[in-house]
C-alpha cells in the first residue's frame, strides 16, 4: 500500500494534427476560424496559403519583437 502523501503524476502530452493532411503538427500550429467551435489547426505547409493571403491584404502583419 502506498503512503497518503505519495502522488501519481500523469503527464499529459498534447498532440495536434493538421485538419487537412492529418500529420502531427510540430511547433506552433496555424489556427484559422471564427470561434471556438469553428476552428481548425493547420501545419505550416497547409496554412501557408491562408497566411500569405492575410499578409497580402494587410489583415495581419509581422513585427520584430527585438531589434
Tell me the per-residue pLDDT of 3-56, one tens digit each, with 9 for 90 and over: 555 555 555 567 789 999 999 998 888 888 877 778 889 999 999 999 899 889
Q: Would 4 be classed as within a structural domain?
A: no
Q: Would 5 be classed as within a structural domain?
A: no
Q: Would 8 be classed as within a structural domain?
A: no
Q: Would 37 be classed as within a structural domain?
A: yes
Q: What is the pTM of this model?
A: 0.62
Domain of residue 32, residue span: 16-60
- Residues 28 and 44 sit within 8 Å (Cβ to Cβ): no
In total, how many domains does the chain have? 1
Q: Would 38 be classed as within a structural domain?
A: yes
Buried b (16+ CB within 10 A) or exposed e, 24-54: ebeeebbebeeeeeeeebbbeebbeeeeeee
Structure confidence at residue 48 (pLDDT): 93
Q: Would 32 be classed as within a structural domain?
A: yes
Amino acid at each position: 500500500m502506498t503512503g497518503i502523501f505519495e502522488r501519481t503524476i500523469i503527464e499529459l502530452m498534447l498532440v495536434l494534427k493538421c485538419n487537412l493532411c492529418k500529420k502531427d503538427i510540430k511547433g506552433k500550429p496555424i489556427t484559422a476560424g471564427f470561434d471556438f467551435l469553428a476552428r481548425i489547426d493547420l501545419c505550416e505547409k497547409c496554412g501557408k496559403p491562408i497566411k500569405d493571403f492575410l499578409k497580402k491584404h494587410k489583415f495581419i502583419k509581422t513585427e520584430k519583437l527585438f531589434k
